[in-house]
Structure 1
């Protein structure tokens, strides 16, 4: 009871105190003021206000001398309202403290404009230099006489920059600012990543193309390789299927037709197994790409190493070039957080328009009429109007297959900061994007990265640690795998269901279709995980000598499952299968250790840099696949325990090892003459004892002729000029493991209770390294203070002893064996780069980047090609990937049949005797152009790519008019219909009626009629970004904020209507995807 009374008293006391406090506050703020004074002194107004309120004023009499007379007439206003009007137009301001005291002070006047002059090192006035107030969007440019004027407060920092010159920061003081810009840092002296080190663009003796994070960020791609399209010379990127599918990079052409053509991928020192993954399903013809596991937002730069000087340090794995990926590192200082989020949608780049039902049925009937046949249910149910077919029904199958607007969601957050003792960069990202095809196929990826750096107090020991993990889930579409040529080629009046609501498959085994709705009852999942770890340590032993050690580990795991229930099986097919489930498990891990010693010193008037090191590498791979059948029903197929039969379809395990020793010596004399020597000796477990080791190396040299006094005097407009050249030898060993050993595998044929063994392949103890000899010469230049800059390069690569799978007679018990051939593959080309600063004014800037490549790939030499198994596949002087087809000279104006060229004059159409070389799908010429416009806070850019190549058109793999498959509208008016017609395509036919019809159906749609050699253009990227003014952003507690809209792979132009996107690898594959996204970037 006593406690209750005490608590009641306390509550009443608190209530009374709160009421009293509110009364005091109300009294303080309820005092109203009435003023009516004309031409009064400000001090008199203060006195009147103090009479009407309990306020006090604190001020200096001297301060009031600059005050203006006051004219005021107010009735019953608050203190704040009265003061606001009193101080309006005054050079004074005020604040009110907690006890209602008004403190009067002078207004802070805006700082006077900062003026100054910018000159170059020769004392010349420097026009169009960019001047920015650091940390803000306030900026200007110097005029034609080098003068500038900018509003900046005392103590703020001005940043002076110009392409090709060192960026300079100057603190604003009391007087004008006159600066001298020194040549070189923006482009020429920025850091250039090379193998096992860094250099600068000025000092680099090799051929290296680079893309920075800013360029990558403009492109909304899930795989960084897609962002390289059209950005660099000598680089071709191929991708034409759905989200998450494979992406191939080819650097300076195909070097071999037997072993792999993939470049070497290295991420922060970790070697990536970039082989495309093909699991238990074939939704993507070319598999999926492990490169998609790397979040593009984490990448700081991508450097493509191309010539011998740049690649030879990697020896046996560098024939096809090297892709060095460097991720973002920590920035010292307080923690900074960046958030980037966007959403958008994917659409098809091209929607082929096909015949409507009326056009399709008319063409079908025309084929039967010309063949003198009558449509029946067994051969043409689509024309009989028998249920469930309806002659006037229509479905736009193109829209069904490619018409979806598939959403994209992407979010990335990163933070970095720290001190020299420990700095960090941490990021995490989430991506989910849907494919445009039916069934809601999608890719979902979660990734995280941690980079740590540390430098000891005495600056001798440096260490870094990098860890990246990503998990990728892919649900591919199952439509394209079950419809030959794609869903869009179904008859436009094809019914998905019977009248009873069941899946419709056709009327007979000779007239049946794979039902797309049924095919989507399959369940497919693909999971991958990627772990990359690297640790680097370096210790300065004494000035110039440093010891380094790098450790790296990578692990790539893949799992996939495909369930084919009874509902997805075509009962009308002549190849009826049973319900089944398939599973695949794969893993690849790598371990790498590289100790190194580096020395930097001076010899005479030159600088020398020496590197020696060694590599210990081990890679391990394992995979197995299972087939499960005999389930009691479709509902039980998700569990292995219900399978009646579990068969191990395949299983393998393999290890590969490398032991390498490498070195490099770089010497420059007077910072004008450079010499670079590199050497590597590799030992590989893929070759036998006699050929296990290979030697590779290169020499590169350059001369900066623009630094010669006679050039400066005679050609002063040349701000930079360099000649460079290189020659060297690299290698290739991209073949299966242990081809030199006689390996056995378990066989189903047993001897009693003993398990039988079977030879896996015919081994060859004498296989050895491929070798590629690379030669290059180049000119790099900068003109008019680098307002114009670029390069011209010529290269020639010759590969010998290429590793091939040589066909052999079946009497040996094998179909082929791996062997080295004494032949030569040659790649030659010219590469051009041009960068211009077109307009540089205070508020508007326009820059252009252009690159163009002329490339030629050929089989340069092959002894006794005519007598080899490749005589019908390759030609001397022609590309390795030539397209050889039957050739249609014309369409007969009398019969409407294709007239094939009889090349060997034997009176019949035979292969390979009548095949004609049409061309190559690899581009002969290709390039890209980017324009970047800046206006105040806006940045707008767009890039265009182009290529001249042989591409397939809609007719490739399609059908002749009249068959039970729909065709694009391009066929209308272009196929033969009556005697006298000058046609492009053969006449309509109902099917395999005669030998002539069979020949037409078999060969016409894979002849030259299905290909075009064209130059196409593509709007590859559009980006619009608006950066909000800094004063707006700071009020929200941010350091930077921007909004953007970006588009990728938006449209293409072809002078010939192909009926498909030129980058679609075949007419039956999916179409490339275009993307539009809208996002926001925030920095804290």
Structure 2
């Protein structure tokens, strides 16, 4: 796996040698110290304003008093920009002091810097599709994972929070699903995550607890990030933006930039943020009451001609018919409390700037018992530059440690929805769990199956740059990440019915994983201008190595419950997994950016990648893209339209990216030791000729500004085609193997429209900003030769989405028999898949968000509505009406009772025909419906106190709400994630933010 070290180390040494050797040989242009202040029209200082030297990679920000200082040459031009204000450009000449007043503007098209990965750009000049969310929109949301704060805020970016259990990974897709590979962690469709220039292995961590299931994604390693420390999140979507990342950018790129110190600040300043809040499940179902439940059960026995007994009807014979328990309230109806504390300090001088912070977050559970989530974070950013700004050093490091003490909450929620309302009390008179009879499975026994997951992650990056000349810069970016996770699941005898204790043993499950990675990227950047022509060029290389280890063990048989987890005390010990995998990656990349007269833009990118996941003859591949933009409004013939059509820009891109998101060593023959040792047996077939997936992306877009940019409209159309699919090719059992890694000649296409509208109104002390984003995606499998003869015939269909279900044709309830009926279904009791003749597309057909922010003086109100148009499976209990267990009250009232009834719910019955009909219903079109929703995702109110006489720079009081209102026809807990997962909680928090 070290085959690339020799191959590319030479290029790295050349650049590093050039970095240090040439700097001392070339003459530097004399520079002067330029300082000043930046205020608004009411003479209020504006902190955080971007001050940069035009056409140079040099800049700073204003401090809390609006002051700045920067080294510049007389020939330089200052570009002063801030979100919501007009950009100003001032020539330096011989002036050393500036007093700058910014005028409010409706647009950030000017010069607000946007992180494009290996280079920076602006809204006005970008040729690719880049979505951006600022840290201000994220930091006040009490989320454990910053990505969940992106819901509804970006066009083309779908974020689904599958569970309200803290620490669970959200599922994120950028412009749809590209790969046939799916399952745990959204395998094969993960975006590339870059944190301060360092790529992160974002694949969710497996778990023995309820955080990993067929409907949940696992433990997210990004939980270790502190949302308060994030300055911005940019998402790269099209070929022009992602091709420079080559094989890693096929599914989009998420760039997370943390906060940095401001240049010129002399004194240390401190930031304190404290919040406290509570959350509950926002919705509960209207389940059947006890009296109606008893009637339903007795009706089922009457319909079946059967007699209730202790063995077949404990709820009728043994249990109290007058008892009623709201099991939803008892099992997941608690209040989750959350607390957050964040401390920060920043300061420095002209040559040294720093920022550091500590964070703590604690969240309890809505479940009964002492379950909670704790997170501790620490971060440090250090910037150093020489007095002439030729040498720069940027060091970032962050550490996160979270501890999640939970249990199998997935089954707990489903139990709360299905348990009979007259089920026995949880605890007996002796205070122990009640095991009244063999038909009773006490739900609180699940609480004894505790799990504790601990994850620690270190992310560090170091960037060195040297300006060899005014136009040429050498840079070396490097990074190191280390993630360590441990999970312990305790399963004592109390977890089981005492009647089973003589047949089973207590056990403990241990999951351990470690991910270690380093990366080095030497680069050369060249910038120059010749009249109206400007050039921005980049060349560099990447060397990356990653090592993953895993160890899973099970201990069985403990003499005492207190010894659970101590493997030395277990009677038997089994190692179920012990693996070490190494991954090596190398690349060379380049970019050329040209623009003429600031109205014609051309961007060319290319990358050659090598991956150790492919055989020796298939390891390298080339990727690239071309992007262009034309600012039509700069043409002379457009000037007469500017009072109405103030900005017009057309852009487009085309290119290719790839993917190597498969397991390591898949091209090799592998063997394992036979039980007891002494021999080997084959576990994997070799296939050294499979290669990269290919993703070809096309985009066309128009950006318009009306009425002096008071109204902005951006429209994009895209088409992404992913081919040469990397999947496991299924083999017949006679070969002795289930599959072999291979490429399938299948092509997946994602197309869609994205719309973004923004407006801004400023009237004195009143300010209003509104934005709307909307995405209309479409996913199709457009080619798959031989699919009907493959194992995918019952999963996918050419011409349809990858997210489809094959369903029975539901025809309603038979008025005579009272059972569900279906068209063209074999009634011999055999579930034939060929009878599923209908296809339902479950892809979101439209999604987006609508945000408003109102500011009057020091008072601010901000809210975001998220909307999704989709079809999905309506909530139905997992038991047929009349069997032991609760159903919805509305289903009880709509059931069939007598021959001739026209009903929508079948009769109460426990016979096999009724169960068969109900099970077919759950895989038929009859349970699929419109599950669209409109949700008030966030609502925030803040007030800025006057604190000038207190020695405090700013003091902000804020209230924040999440998931406050949801309008939907879905009758389950959460339309976002249909099923029996714990929904995202409705949260209310109040807090205080100080700067002094």
Q: 2:795 matched to 1:866?
A: no
8 Å Cα contact 1:163-1:187 kept in structure 2? no
Counterparts of 1:572 and 1:876, CA distance in 2:
53
> Does 2:901 align with 1:970?
no
SS at match of 2:148: helix
Aligned to 2:480: 553
Match of 2:18 in 1: none
2: CA distance, partners of 1:257 / 1:534: 34
SS of 2:640's partner is: helix
| 1:290 aligned onto 2:221 | yes
CA drift of 1:501 comes to 5.3
Contact 2:419 2:886 in 1 (8 A): yes
Structure number with larger C-alpha Rg: 1
**In the TM superposition, what is the alpha-carbon distance from 1:178 to its structure 2 partner?**
12
Tell me how far 1:577 sits from its aligned partner.
4.1
Rounded to whole Å, the distance in 1 between the matches of 2:661 and 2:199 is 14
SS in 2 for 1:312: helix
Structure 2 equivalent of residue 493 of structure 1? 422
Counterpart of 2:881 in structure 1 is 961
Counterparts of 2:670 and 2:158, CA distance in 1: 37
Equivalent residue of 1:539, what SS?
strand
Structure 1 residues 23-60: Cα deviation after superposition (integer angstroms, max 9, x where no partner): xxxxxxxxxxxxxxxxxxxxxxxxxxxxxxxxxxxxxx
1:817 aligned onto 2:740: yes
The structure 2 residue matched to 1:949, chosen from 851, 860, 870, is 870
Instruction: Please point out which of 967, 980, 993 is paired with 2:900.
Output: 980
Is the 1:849–1:930 contact (alpha carbons within 8 Å) kept by the matching residues of 2? Answer: yes
Is the alpha carbon distance of 1:738 and 1:985 closer, same or farther for their aligned partners in structure 2, counting shifts above 3 Å? same
Rounded to whole Å, the distance in 1 between the matches of 2:576 and 2:899 is 56
Specify the alignment match of 2:594 in structure 1.
667
Match of 2:14 in 1: none
Q: What secondary structure does 1:975 align onto?
A: coil
Question: Paired residue for 1:380?
Answer: 313
Deviation (angstroms), 1:1059: 2.9
For 1:1078, the equivalent position in structure 2 comes to 990
Q: Is 1:794–2:794 an aligned residue pair?
A: no
Aligned with 1:132: secondary structure?
Answer: coil
Q: What SS does the corresponding residue of 2:983 show, helix, strand or coil?
A: coil
Q: Does 1:132 align with 2:42?
A: yes
Deviation (angstroms), 1:873: 1.1
Partners of 1:161 and 1:167 within 8 A in 2: no
Task: Name the residue aligned to 2:933.
Answer: 1016
Match of 2:155 in 1: 233
Shift in Å at residue 438 of structure 1?
2.0
Equivalent residue, structure 2, for 1:418 = 348
User: Is the Cα contact below 8 Å between 1:132 and 1:160 reproduced in 2?
Assistant: no
Please give the alpha-carbon distance, in whole angstroms, between the structure 1 residues aligned to 2:865 and 2:369: 33
**Which position in structure 1 is the counterpart of 2:701?**
778
The answer to whether the 8 A contact 2:331-2:413 is kept is no
Task: Give 1:1035's aligned residue.
Answer: 949
SS across alignment from 1:972: helix
Whether 1:936 aligns to 2:850 is: no
Moved more, 199-208 or 1002-1011: 1002-1011
Counterpart of 2:664? Answer: 737
More off after superposition, 538-547 vs 574-583: 574-583
- Per the alignment, residue 199 of structure 2 pairs with 271
Distance 1:980 1:740 in 2: 63
Between the aligned partners of 1:978 and 1:499, the Cα distance in structure 2 is: 44
Structure 1 residues 136, 868: closer, same or farther in 2, change over 3 A?
A: closer
- Report the 3-state secondary structure (helix = DSSP H, G, I; strand = E; otherwise coil) of the residue aligned with 1:1006: coil
Q: What is the TM-score with the length of structure 1 in the denominator?
A: 0.81
Deviations 1:537-586 (A, max 9, x none): 00011121110001100011100101111010135679964210111110
Q: Which residues of 2 match residues 828-843 of structure 1 at below 5 A?
A: 828-837=751-760, 839-843=761-765
2:683 pairs with one of 752, 760, 766: 760
- Paired with 2:523 and 2:666, the residues of 1 have a C-alpha distance of 32
Structure 1 residue 674 displacement after superposition = 0.5
SS in 2 for 1:211: strand
Using the alignment, how far apart are the partners of 1:810 and 1:371 within structure 2? 44
Residue by residue, what CA displacement relative to the aligned partner does 1:188-244 show, whole Å, maximum 9, x if unpaired?
321011121111111110000000111113422221101100000001111121111
Map of 1:698 onto structure 2: 625
| Structure 2 counterpart SS, 1:518 | helix
Cα distance in 1, alignment partners of residues 242 and 194 from structure 2: 12
Aligned to 1:144: none
Counterpart check, 1:309 vs 2:234: no
SS at match of 1:1026: strand
1:487, CA displacement in angstroms?
A: 2.7
Q: Residues 873 and 571 from structure 1, CA distance in 2 versus in 1: closer, same or farther, beyond 3 angstroms? A: farther
Determine the structure 2 residue equivalent to 1:367.
Answer: 300
Which residue pairs with 1:406 in the alignment? Answer: 336
Whole-Å Cα distance in 2 between the matches of residues 749 and 640 of structure 1? 21
Unaligned stretches of 5+ residues in structure 1? 1-128, 138-154, 170-176
Other structure's SS at 2:728 match? strand
Whole-Å separation in 2 of the counterparts to 1:769 and 1:136: 49
Instruction: Find 2:278's aligned residue among 341, 345, 362.
Output: 345
Match of 1:1060 in 2: 973
Distance 1:167 1:341, change over 3 A: farther
Paired residue secondary structure (1:1003)? helix
Q: Deviations over 1:613-646 (max 9, x none)?
A: 0000000000101111121122322422211111
Q: What pairs up with 1:447-486 in 2 under 5 angstroms?
A: 447-481=377-411, 485-486=414-415
Matches of 2:905 and 2:140, distance apart in 1: 44
Q: Does 1:196 align with 2:137?
A: no
Matched, 1:1046 2:968: no
Give TM-score scaled by structure 2 length: 0.88
Aligned partner of 1:66 in structure 2 is none
Q: Is the 8 A contact 1:947 1:1017 kept in 2?
A: yes
Q: Give the aligned partner of residue 611 of structure 1.
A: 538
Secondary structure, aligned partner of 1:748: coil
Matched residue count: 911
Moved more, 278-287 or 344-353: 278-287
Q: Is the 8 A contact 2:169 2:220 kept in 1?
A: yes
User: Which is worse superposed, 328-337 or 202-211?
Assistant: 328-337
**8 Å Cα contact 2:413-2:982 kept in structure 1:** no
Cα distance 1:741–1:720, how it changes in 2: closer, same or farther (>3 A)? same
> Would you say the 8 A contact 2:40–2:102 is kept in 1?
no
Q: Deviations over 1:1048-1072 (max 9, x none)?
A: 1222101x24232101342x22222
In the TM superposition, residue 881 of structure 1 has moved relative to its aligned partner by 1.6
Compared CA separation, residues 618 and 1061, structure 1 to 2 (3 A): same
453-462 or 570-579, larger mean C-alpha shift? 570-579
Q: CA RMSD in A?
A: 2.5
Change (3 A) 1:270 1:1001: same
- Report the counterpart of residue 808 of structure 1 in structure 2: 731
* Equivalent residue runs for 1:905-920 within 5 Å: 910-920=831-841
Q: Distance in 2 between matches of 1:592 and 1:531?
A: 14
Structure 2 CA distance for aligned equivalents of residues 700 and 563 of structure 1: 55
Matches of 1:782 and 1:759 in 2, distance apart?
Answer: 64
- Matched-pair contact (CA < 8 Å) for 2:131–2:154: yes
**Do 1:521 and 1:567's aligned partners in 2 also have CA atoms closer than 8 Å?**
yes
2:290 corresponding residue in structure 1? 357
Displacement of 1:269 in angstroms is: 1.1
- Equivalence for 1:537: 464
Kindly indicate whether the alpha-carbon contact (under 8 Å) linking 1:440 and 1:477 is maintained by their aligned counterparts in 2. no
Q: 1:764 to 1:570 in 2, by over 3 A?
A: farther
Q: Distance in 1 between matches of 2:137 and 2:938?
A: 11
Q: Could you tell me which runs of 5 or more consecutive residues in structure 2 were left unpaired when the two chains were aligned.
A: 1-38, 48-64, 69-79, 91-98, 182-186
Aligned equivalents of 1:395, 1:775: Cα separation in 2: 57
Distance, in Å, in 1 between the alignment partners of 2:237 and 2:82 is 31
